[in-house]
Structure 1
Amino acid sequence: MTNAPRSWKGAPEHYSETPDWKDGTTKFLGWFSIGLGLAEIFAPRQVAKLVGISDEDEYVGTLRQFGVREIAAGLGILTRPKPTYWLWSRVGGDAIDLAWLTRRLRDSEEDNDSTKLLAAITAVLGVTALDIIQGTKLTSEKLPSTGHDEGSFQVGKGDDGTVRLEAQVTVGASPAECYEFWKNLENLPRVVGHLESVRTLGEGRSHWKAKAPAGLSVEWDAEVIEDRPNEYIAWHALEHEQVDNLGSVTFVPAPGDRGTEIHLEMEYHPRGGAIGARIANLFKKIPQGALMMDLRRFKQLIELGEVVQSDATASRKMPHPAQPNATNELKSELRAQ
């Protein structure tokens, strides 16, 4: 890897030009998504009443937006031979649905039916689990011809130990708003799961700390190598570091004035020596699809003002927001940066 700015590829290959990989469960999720979307678009009041919302008229617009998202995901699942991207996009949509339903449940000012809302949340959690299972299955299945999954969000590991990750997502915000978040690299650990911290050092340089298995961590210094406001940011590790990290984020206006397409790519290339080899083994454990989930967290943060935890662990029976933050407060915070 050289120190010169690198021209990254565009969107990852979400689709594989192979025979149809979809099983019955995946096709069911596609048709379910379309059916739910049609109901939310054409009968939003009935859907609101079904899940226990007392004021059906207040959320007509919100439910119709959810419906458009569901139909887009369903069509993607049914029309693509290996719809990995669309299955993981459903997981992100599920998280947004869970956040919205939980807000309705917790809002004491709304006279909603808590029993119906809890039932709806439970149903969404079940569908989310199914989406994750199918998405993981497609992500992990390999193409015999290439040895890695062209439909996933990880570009396979090279013979030299290099780990390349890439993903994209469409966010309902302008390129300028998205750029304001990413230009401050200290914001990255808020959405990138394997990063523990990023601390700016001045003059375009920063100190990075990444999480690793067994409670270990890896640290290095990096510098910004290209910064085009509202368009593109790229960075790489300094030459003396054991980890040669290269990353970039691109902001592209989405067609139809739908916001911004975020393209995120990261590459970890260990330098020589025993330490470099150990570091390579640590980064190889980053799961496929991890960066996609990171971008989904960014989408939630920008659009909802918070990142939603929907693991429903034993200690928490329902989905719960992590670090809640009002959307307007978040935008004020970004402007202040």
Structure 2
Amino acid sequence: MMTDKLARALGWTSLGLGVAQLAAPRVVTRLCGVDDAPGATTAARLVGGRELLHAALLLGARNPAQWAWTRAAGDMMDLGVLGRAAADRAGARRTRALAALGAVAGITALDLACARGSAARAKGPLQVRASITINRPRDEVYRFWRELENLPRFMAHLDSVRTINQRRSRWKAKGPIVDLEWEAEIIDERAGDLIAWRSMPGTGVSTAGLVGFTDGPGGRGTVVDVSLEYGVPGRKVAAAVARMLGKHPEQQVRDDLRRFKQVMETGEVLRSEGSPEGHRALRQLHQRPAQPIGGRA
């Protein structure tokens, strides 16, 4: 998304500014017209450390735009300092302080735009996308998924799916406090190509999904593309489930697809000596860590 790309760019900006302020604080204070202020060099280094923190958040986060507010808050502090510096100085120093003030104001506008974009996105539905290639024919992969009662075999958050009729089904998931249940309906289906579904209104969970099936490169295997969307309160449900599982929803979907690949290619979720538990993915969550079963003498 454009907001995340802007956030990454701002992260690189923070990295450059942080390195410059830590490596050459006197040069930075002179360019900003504040080199005559007591403690200016120390202040520049502190600001440099803050910029490196911004860089770490913006470049290292999965959703970097949400951290743009931290940069915006720092910008406000810098604008105040530079504004006072420009008012208290004259001549060349005042000119440099005004130039620095203008540069920071421009960056502040970008930071605020990024932060507002993140806030607007947070109010919308939570969207998750993932894909995987499975070494099985497309029709076979499609048919297995279309039999919705198979889904708990590889989807860790599902306890059961019960088919009501050709279009509707009842889903049950283990929540952090109580079980979650809802009805869903298939809203679009093209045999061998895609299945799209959504939760029924008034069932307490707002979610929708689409899974597409295409031939793999060179006609070998099947590429499975999954898109999920959680609304409100479904978004809160997704966050609660993520906390329970200790994973981001996108990572959970990727793990589900890896289990799906194992089921399709081997007939079961692969298990080690430390994970002997059942064929349902949900049961895999409660197993003990693998232990050594012996070594060479």
Normalising by structure 1, report the TM-score. Answer: 0.45
Measured after TM superposition, the shift of residue 146 of structure 1 is 5.9
State whether structure 2 residue 230 is matched by structure 1 residue 268: yes
Instruction: Report what 1:240 is aligned to.
Output: 202
Residue equivalent to 1:196: 159
For 1:215-294, what aligned pairs fall within 5 Å after superposition? Answer: 216-271=178-233, 279=237, 281-283=239-241, 285=243, 287=248, 288-294=250-256
Residue 318 of structure 1: CA displacement?
Answer: 5.9
Q: How far apart in 2 are the matches of 1:232 and 1:172?
A: 18
1:165 to 89, 114, 128: 128
Q: Give the match for residue 209 of structure 1.
A: 172
Structure-1 separation of matches of 2:123 and 2:65: 20
Residues 187-214 of structure 1: CA deviation (Å, up to 9, x unaligned): 1111111111110011410001122224
Structure 1 residue 171: deviation in Å?
Answer: 0.3
**Whose Rg is larger?**
2
Q: Distance between the aligned counterparts of 1:309 and 1:157, measured in 2?
A: 42
| CA-CA distance at 1:299 after TM superposition | 0.6
1:18-37 to structure 2, matched below 5 A, reads none
| Aligned counterpart for 1:177 among listed residues 140, 158, 164 | 140
Larger helix percent: 2
CA deviation vs aligned residue, 1:234-253 (integer Å, no higher than 9, x gap): 11111222111101110011
Give unmatched runs, 5+ long, in structure 1.
1-11, 20-138, 149-155, 320-337
Find out whether 1:306 has 2:280 as its counterpart. Answer: no
In 2, the alpha carbon distance for the partners of 1:183 and 1:318 equals 39
Structure 2 residue runs without a partner (length 5+): 10-58, 69-118, 275-286
Cα distance in 2 between the residues matched to 1:230 and 1:280: 28
Deviations 1:287-323 (A, max 9, x none): 241100100001111111210235946575369xxxx
For 2:262, what is the secondary structure of its paired residue? helix
Using the aligned pairs only, state the percent identity: 35
Which of 43, 46, 61 is residue 141 of structure 1 equivalent to? Answer: 61
CA, structure 1 residues 218+161, in 2 after alignment: closer, same or farther (shift >3 Å)?
Answer: farther
Whether the aligned pair in 2 keeps the contact of 1:221 and 1:238 (CA below 8 Å) is yes
Aligned CA RMSD, in angstroms, stands at 3.9
